[in-house]
Amino acid sequence: MADLFGASEEAPPARVPLPERLRPTQLSEVVGQEALLGINGKLTRLLTSVEQGGALPSLILWGPPGTGKTTLARLIASHVGEDTRFVQLSALTSGVKDLKAAFEGARMARGQGQATVLFVDEIHRFNKAQLDSFLPVMEDGTITLIGATTENPSFELNPALLSRCDVLILQPLDPNDLVVLVGRALDALGKADLVDEGACRVIADRADGDGRRSIALTELVIAGQGDDPTLYTASAIAERLGMALARYDKDRDGHYDLISALHKAVRGSDPDAALYWFARMLEGGEDPLFLARRIIRMASEDIGMADPTALQTAMAAREAYHVLGSPEGELAIAQAVVHVATAPKSNAVYTAYKAARTLAKEGGSLAPPSEILNAPTKLMKDIGRGDGYIYDHDTPDAFSGQDYFPEALGRHTLYDPPERGFERELVKRLRYWQGLRDLKQDGE
């Protein structure tokens, strides 16, 4: 059986990075990922099926850095039969030539009765044409693919490829899992007796869900230190590590997940959570003007006429940022966040707008009632345009009750505000005007 991972084994142990030396060699050593590796976990059941003679499906391992994708790929490979060969590629360093060689090797092996599992790290780095090249060799069974990716496969992988794979989702490791990994690193460094649990948790917190990072940070702050116990206290290690950097990607899942969290916190009238997500995105390097634009949208979508000043505040915050720049202008945006989060909520305008668009599409090119059409020329007046129009300001209450919908369409109620915030007053007005319409109809 070919050795997929033999290259690292040839290097002297001292030259192999500590995270690699501590990489689990069996599933029982893997920390975290209970949803996959628990008794009823998806991967546990899949590997049980393989051990009982079932076929290994093509897999996509999706998760943030340091969650065990490569480790699991190696361990999955170790569960496949002796008549299976393994090939590893990285999309960072491989191209069309490498793919062709891998596929051709798999075809030759197949002719000799060997199956091939092809592990592709960072598979999302391949372009569409390269991803398409996997389809025929997966379809005819030449290879079983295991792809690892940090990016959402729904967006980064071709639908045809994705439809041929099971997706296993790996989660960031929780602090307790990371403390276990820090402990393993301390054992390997011979410092386990000097570092207490509080210091381990400081390192785990700085690792931010990344197992590989937790081991690397442990080595960074521990290796080379003497035996002075004061060097290994939680406060000393925290000072050495500095501030934690939250994981955030400005154009991928982290971006969309956090703006979704901010929007939902605003919609849920939670200014504290809204400010937290706002700050998280700023600290991650998000463009403040992007956040300002999204808050303007929230003011219209989730507040609308329940508090018309919310939109004014949001627009003013954007302008204030243009004038002040960063960091002073960010305070104005924070003020807008608090305003929209604490404002009374109504999506009545948003709902009415969507309904109006649907009605406009379905109604086609219906003309306005002739009485409300302009008649700037004699000919237009002669054919009756504008006949019967009532100037509302000449009527009691400045309300004529005319119908402004196309005659063939009839009246529709699109804007139906709740009795919250300023819209309480609008409800009163709408009811009053509807009463006047009813009186007019009864009179006719």
- The Cβ of residue 357 has, within 10 Å, a number of other Cβ atoms equal to 11
How is residue 86 written in tokens? Answer: 């393994």
User: In angstroms, rounded to a whole number, what is the distance separating the alpha carbons of residues 98 and 87?
Assistant: 11
1-15, 82-96, 231-245, 252-266 — most confident range: 82-96
How is residue 348 written in tokens? Answer: 């009545």
Which H helix or E strand runs over 119?
strand 115-121
Closest CA to 349 of 404, 401, 304: 304
How is residue 118 written in tokens? Answer: 């092809």
Tokens 């700023």 correspond to what residue? Answer: 282
Which DSSP state fits 242?
Answer: -
How is residue 41 written in tokens? Answer: 């976990």
Weakest-pLDDT range from 17-26, 222-231, 286-295, 333-342? 222-231
Is the pLDDT confidence value at 384 over 60? yes
> Angle at CA 416, nearest 5°, toward 423 and 390?
90
Domain range annotation of the chain: 6-169, 175-241, 253-342, 367-443
User: In angstroms, rounded to a whole number, what is the distance separating the alpha carbons of residues 158 and 129?
Assistant: 10
How buried is residue 231: exposed, middle or buried, by Cβ count under 10 Å (0-12/13-18/19+)? middle
Share of the chain above pLDDT 70, in %: 93
Whether pTM exceeds 0.85: no
183 pLDDT band, cuts 50/70/90, is: very high
User: In angstroms, rounded to a whole number, what is the distance separating the alpha carbons of residues 154 and 158?
Assistant: 8
The DSSP secondary structure of 8-34, one letter per residue, reads HHHS-GGGS-HHHHT--SSGGG--S-H
Weakest-pLDDT range from 11-20, 214-223, 256-265? 11-20
Is the pLDDT confidence value at 180 over 60? yes
Is the pLDDT confidence value at 443 over 70? no
- Mean pLDDT of all residues in 192-201: 88
pLDDT of residue 248: 52
- Mean pLDDT of all residues in 146-163: 91
- The Cβ of residue 402 has, within 10 Å, a number of other Cβ atoms equal to 15
User: Using alpha carbons only, how large is the chain's radius of gyration in Å?
Assistant: 32
Which DSSP state fits 105?
Answer: H
Is the pLDDT confidence value at 440 over 90? no
Q: pLDDT tens digit string along 334-371?
A: 999 999 999 999 999 999 999 999 999 888 888 888 88
Find out whether 278 and 333 touch, Cβ atoms under 8 Å.
yes
pLDDT of residue 7: 42
| The residue type at 144 | T
Is the pLDDT confidence value at 237 over 90? no
182 pLDDT band, cuts 50/70/90, is: very high
pLDDT of residue 178: 94
Contacts with 357 (C-beta within 8 Å, 6 or more apart), sequence order: none
pLDDT of residue 408: 85
pLDDT of residue 136: 94
Closest CA to 19 of 254, 252, 245, 181: 181
Q: pLDDT tens digit string along 57-73?
A: 999 999 989 999 999 99
pLDDT of residue 444: 62
pLDDT of residue 256: 78
| CA distances for 89 relative to 21, 148, 194, angstroms | 21, 11, 41
Alpha helices by DSSP H, 299-377: 309-324, 328-342, 348-363
In CATH terms, the fold of domain 6-169 is: Rossmann fold (3.40.50)
Find out whether 97 and 66 touch, Cβ atoms under 8 Å.
no
Architecture of domain 253-342: Up-down Bundle (1.20)
Which DSSP state fits 165?
Answer: S
- Mean pLDDT of all residues in 140-167: 92
8 pLDDT band, cuts 50/70/90, is: very low
